[in-house]
């Protein structure tokens, strides 16, 4: 009964989404307030219905109802309850339901936090979001319904893929989707501007916080994915430039460019058409990602089971949504060009340079990801494009953008002088260069990439410091008072930039100074790596809820002093028979020591053990944290909320005026 109710709720949601799309958009064209007012309740109703449907599916999983096909294929009665819950979104169908749930959530959020927008703009934004909902709800209902029954019901499920039975699975997809799907709001704002044919600077101020929050979520989601892969896959890597990873990274790059472009549009009214195009591009990349993962056109470890039928539907949807918006762009955008001027070293100019570099990097990642498909489609054979290409191309491209992070925030709007900036930053440049050249020598020998990384990281960090010093010079009160008085927009920018510096430093170290060893360990033997001694104490048998494991014990010490006891496992899952290795990690801010079990070599308990020393790896996750916090701070800047009150007042005046 419950799956059927859930299915019915989805159908109702589709009807409501249709209403949310058609009536307000038509109403906005015609100036009909009644029709426009349909948008808010429709969006909220849609969210309630889909949340309810999601609850029905989750219930089926928690109750291990194997008469539901999705539950039978992706769960088992032996799993821990929290993995049964996450299995709700562990398949293509389930994750589509999560997609529409999160879209409905954002739409409902817009309906609540848009009181200060003019009615026609709010109606258009919600209307466009409704259109997207219609597309995905229909896709789900007609090709990927998670509520399909399996009759007769299975006695036991096929179990969730062991790789997904991990903490990371619980949190990574929801965060990622909050970001991915959140950019639909930026897209909807851009479409609303194009549909209305006008765009004033206020538009940028309205759409900026939505964009920033979506960006923060996406940063969190991408970082979590990387962290999960690092811990779970056991090869010590954290980024593989796999097509699906790229599919989440490209919207991030475009989203970063969009945030910076919006800054210029908000403050100076420039780049309007470009910002609109970027907003369209970011969401297009989200849709592209959705297509790539589910259509089977690219080979990836992350792909869901593929089906050309679904791929065709998604491609058609993609064509209509993006093609349509690009037609609208070509038609309406030229009217938006403004004539403000700015100089060579102005902040506008540097932001434009930032955008150029980010888009060039994005285009390169896109090219590399799709190149095998291009070549195959033209009958020119089969190629692979992997990490060596992406690393060779991306790092040199992004380096100038990182360098500009030390210059841009210091440049003034409209006009700035290069000599002035140089004077303020010359000591920072000196320190950064010195660090870049000398630090690698103290670590493990000179390495040009590590050198570049350290230089850029120190440069950005010192630029953040310089910005604070500059700002605080003119502030009132004691130090803490001054700091508290700085606007959150400023704090957000500096924290996010500092996060980048931390990330670059971390990558510079872990990419160039990690070490690993494969050793055959008899019980009682020891091995050394990175200054640590690992002593193997043998294995014990251990049963989990849905697996059997051989659990190894390794005592780690440094200079004779014990540091940790690590217990990696080699698991065999009962139902699928899949073998999996569960690494054991000891982390601190300076390094991870990471151990995983290979194969058993003989009956006396000799095993192949893989040891890793990963210095500064945790700086990557710390960097993401800084960026997320920075993003949230920037989005919560007072001026967005003051503007709210002021335009409420203006609206009241306007309605009074029109009433009399």
Partner 1 sequence: MSRIHHCLLVMLLAFSLPALAEEVLAPKQALPMHDPVIEQRLVKLAEELRCVVCQNETLAASPAELAVDLRREIREQMKAGKDDQQVIAYLVERYGDFVLYRPPFKPVTWLLWLGPVLFLGIGGGAWYMTLRRRRDAQPAPVDEQKRAAAAQLLEEK
Partner 2 sequence: MKWLPLVLFLALVGFFAKGLFLDPREVPSPFIGRTAPAFTLPLVGDANASFSPADMKGKVWILNVWAPWCVTCRQEHGFLMQLAQTGVIPIVGLNWKDKERKAEALLARTGNPYVAVPEDLDGRVGIDYGVTAVPETYLIDKQGIVRLKHTGLIDPGVWKSKFEPKLKALGA
Site of interaction with partner 1 (CB under 8 A): 233, 235, 237, 240, 242-243, 270, 299-301, 303, 338-344, 348-349, 352-353, 356-357, 359-361, 363-364, 367-368, 371, 375, 380-389, 392-393, 397, 516-522, 524-528, 535-536, 608-609
Strands 526-529 and 532-543: antiparallel
Torsion sign across C-alpha atoms 302, 307, 312, 318:
negative
Task: Return the one option of partner 1, partner 2, none that residue 524 interacts with (CB less than 5 to 8 A, by type).
Answer: partner 1
Task: Return the one option of partner 2, partner 1, none that residue 363 interacts with (CB less than 5 to 8 A, by type).
Answer: partner 1
Q: Which is nearer to partner 2, 363 or 650 (CB)?
A: 363
Separation between Cα atoms, residue 286 and residue 176, nearest integer Å? 11
| Centroid of chain to Cα 492 | 18
Q: Write down the least CB distance from residue 242 to partner 1, Å.
A: 5
Q: Write down the least CB distance from residue 453 to partner 1, Å.
A: 20
Q: Write down the least CB distance from residue 239 to partner 1, Å.
A: 13
Q: Which is nearer to partner 2, 207 or 281 (CB)?
A: 281
Q: Which is nearer to partner 2, 276 or 439 (CB)?
A: 276
Residues contributing to the site for partner 2 (CB under 8 A): 277, 280-281, 284, 291, 295-299, 308, 311-312, 315, 318-319, 322-323, 326-327, 329-330, 333-334, 370, 372-374, 376-377, 381-382
Q: Which is nearer to partner 1, 177 or 536 (CB)?
A: 536
Task: Return the one option of partner 2, partner 1, none that residue 291 interacts with (CB less than 5 to 8 A, by type).
Answer: partner 2
Task: Return the one option of partner 1, partner 2, none that residue 242 interacts with (CB less than 5 to 8 A, by type).
Answer: partner 1
Task: Return the one option of partner 2, partner 1, none that residue 343 interacts with (CB less than 5 to 8 A, by type).
Answer: partner 1
DSSP H helices, 197-242, are: 201-232
Measured CA to CA in angstroms, residue 97 lies from 79, 141, 514 at distances of 22, 10, 40
Separation between Cα atoms, residue 542 and residue 556, nearest integer Å? 22
Q: Write down the least CB distance from residue 392 to partner 1, Å.
A: 8
| Centroid of chain to Cα 353 | 23
Cβ(160)–Cβ(79) below 8 Å: yes
Task: Return the one option of partner 2, partner 1, none that residue 333 interacts with (CB less than 5 to 8 A, by type).
Answer: partner 2
Strands 515-521 and 607-615: antiparallel
Q: Which is nearer to partner 2, 122 or 253 (CB)?
A: 253
Q: Write down the least CB distance from residue 525 to partner 1, Å.
A: 4
Shortest CA distance to 584 belongs to which of 600, 597, 568, 601?
568
The helix or strand, by DSSP H or E, that contains position 491, with its residue range, turns out to be helix 488-513
User: Rounded to the nearest 5 degrees, what angle is found at the Cα of 347, between the Cα atoms of 344 and 352?
Assistant: 75
Q: Write down the least CB distance from residue 360 to partner 2, Å.
A: 15
Q: Which is nearer to partner 2, 316 or 531 (CB)?
A: 316
Separation between Cα atoms, residue 406 and residue 437, nearest integer Å? 19
Q: Write down the least CB distance from residue 517 to partner 2, Å.
A: 27
Separation between Cα atoms, residue 271 and residue 647, nearest integer Å? 24
Tokens linked to 144: 């990927």
Separation between Cα atoms, residue 510 and residue 418, nearest integer Å? 35
Q: Write down the least CB distance from residue 311 to partner 2, Å.
A: 5
Q: Write down the least CB distance from residue 286 to partner 2, Å.
A: 15
Phi, psi angles (nearest 5°) of residue 570: -115, 115
DSSP lists the bridge partners of residue 570 as: 550, 581
Q: Which is nearer to partner 2, 319 or 650 (CB)?
A: 319
Q: Which is nearer to partner 1, 322 or 404 (CB)?
A: 404
Q: Which is nearer to partner 2, 121 or 333 (CB)?
A: 333
User: Rounded to the nearest 5 degrees, what angle is found at the Cα of 541, between the Cα atoms of 537 and 546?
Assistant: 135
Cβ(160)–Cβ(74) below 8 Å: yes
Residues 6 or more apart in contact with residue 279 via CB below 8 angstroms? 183, 186, 187, 189, 190, 207, 211, 258
Q: Which is nearer to partner 1, 269 or 544 (CB)?
A: 269
Task: Return the one option of partner 2, partner 1, none that residue 397 interacts with (CB less than 5 to 8 A, by type).
Answer: partner 1
Q: Write down the least CB distance from residue 419 to partner 1, Å.
A: 18
């Amino acid at each position: 009964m419950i799956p059927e109710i859930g299915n019915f709720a989805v159908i109702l949601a589709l009807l409501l989404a249709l209403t949310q799309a058609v009536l307000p958009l038509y109403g906005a064209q015609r100036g009909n307030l009644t029709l426009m007012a349909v948008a808010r309740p429709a969006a909220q109703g849609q969210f309630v219905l889909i949340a309810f449907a999601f609850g029905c599916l989750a219930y089926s999983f928690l109750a291990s109802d194997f008469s539901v096909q999705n539950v039978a294929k992706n769960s088992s009665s032996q799993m821990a309850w929290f993995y049964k819950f996450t299995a709700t979104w562990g398949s293509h169908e389930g994750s589509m339901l999560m997609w529409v749930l999160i879209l409905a959530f954002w739409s409902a959020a817009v309906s609540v936090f848009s009181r200060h927008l003019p009615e026609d703009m709010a109606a258009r934004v919600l209307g466009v979001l409704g259109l997207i909902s219609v597309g995905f709800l229909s896709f789900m209902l007609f090709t990927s319904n998670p509520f399909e029954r399996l009759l007769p019901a299975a006695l036991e499920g096929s179990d969730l893929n062991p790789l997904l039975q991990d903490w990371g699975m619980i949190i990574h997809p929801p965060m990622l989707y909050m970001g991915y799907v959140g950019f639909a709001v930026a897209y909807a704002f851009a479409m609303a501007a194009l549909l209305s044919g006008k765009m004033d600077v206020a538009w940028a101020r309205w759409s900026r916080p939505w964009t920033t929050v979506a960006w923060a979520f996406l940063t969190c989601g991408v970082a979590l994915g990387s962290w999960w892969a690092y811990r779970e896959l056991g090869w010590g890597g954290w980024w593989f430039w796999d097509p699906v990873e790229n599919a989440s990274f490209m919207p991030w790059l475009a989203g970063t460019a969009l945030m910076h472009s919006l800054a210029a549009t908000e403050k100076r009214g420039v780049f309007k058409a470009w910002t609109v195009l970027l907003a369209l591009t970011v969401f297009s990349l989200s849709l592209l990602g959705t297509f790539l993962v589910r259509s089977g056109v690219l080979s990836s470890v992350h792909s869901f089971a593929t089906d050309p039928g679904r791929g065709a539907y998604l491609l058609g949807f993609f064509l209509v949504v993006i093609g349509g918006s690009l037609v609208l762009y070509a038609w309406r955008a030229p009217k938006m060009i403004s004539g403000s001027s700015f100089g060579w070293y102005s902040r506008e100019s540097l932001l434009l340079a930032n955008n150029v570099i980010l888009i060039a990097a994005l285009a390169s990642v896109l090219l590399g990801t799709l190149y095998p498909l291009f070549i195959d489609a033209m009958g020119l054979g089969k190629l692979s494009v992997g990490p060596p290409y992406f690393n060779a191309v991306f790092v040199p491209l992004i380096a100038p953008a990182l360098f500009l992070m030390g210059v841009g925030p210091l440049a003034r709007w409209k006009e700035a002088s290069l000599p002035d900036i140089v004077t303020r930053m010359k000591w920072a440049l000196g320190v950064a260069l010195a660090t870049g050249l000398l630090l690698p020598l103290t670590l493990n020998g000179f390495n040009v990439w590590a050198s570049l990384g350290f230089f850029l990281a120190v440069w950005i960090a010192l630029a953040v410091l310089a910005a604070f010093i500059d700002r605080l010079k003119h502030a009132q009160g004691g130090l803490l008072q001054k700091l508290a008085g700085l606007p959150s927009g400023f704090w957000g920018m500096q924290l996010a930039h500092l996060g980048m510096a931390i990330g670059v430093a971390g990558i510079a170290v872990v990419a160039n100074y990690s070490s690993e060893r494969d050793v055959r360990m008899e019980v009682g033997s020891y091995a050394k790596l990175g200054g640590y001694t690992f002593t193997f104490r043998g294995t014990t048998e251990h049963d989990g809820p849905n697996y059997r494991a051989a659990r190894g014990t390794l005592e780690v010490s440094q200079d004779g002093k014990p540091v940790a006891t690590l217990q990696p496992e080699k698991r065999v899952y009962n139902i699928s028979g899949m073998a999996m290795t569960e690494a054991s990690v000891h982390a601190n801010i300076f390094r991870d020591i990471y151990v995983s079990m290979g194969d058993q070599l003989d009956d006396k308990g000799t095993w192949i053990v893989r040891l890793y020393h990963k210095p500064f790896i945790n700086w990557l996750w710390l960097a993401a944290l800084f960026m997320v916090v920075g993003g949230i701070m920037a989005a919560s800047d007072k001026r967005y909320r003051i503007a709210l009150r002021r335009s409420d007042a203006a609206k009241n005046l306007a309605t009074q005026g029109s009433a009399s």
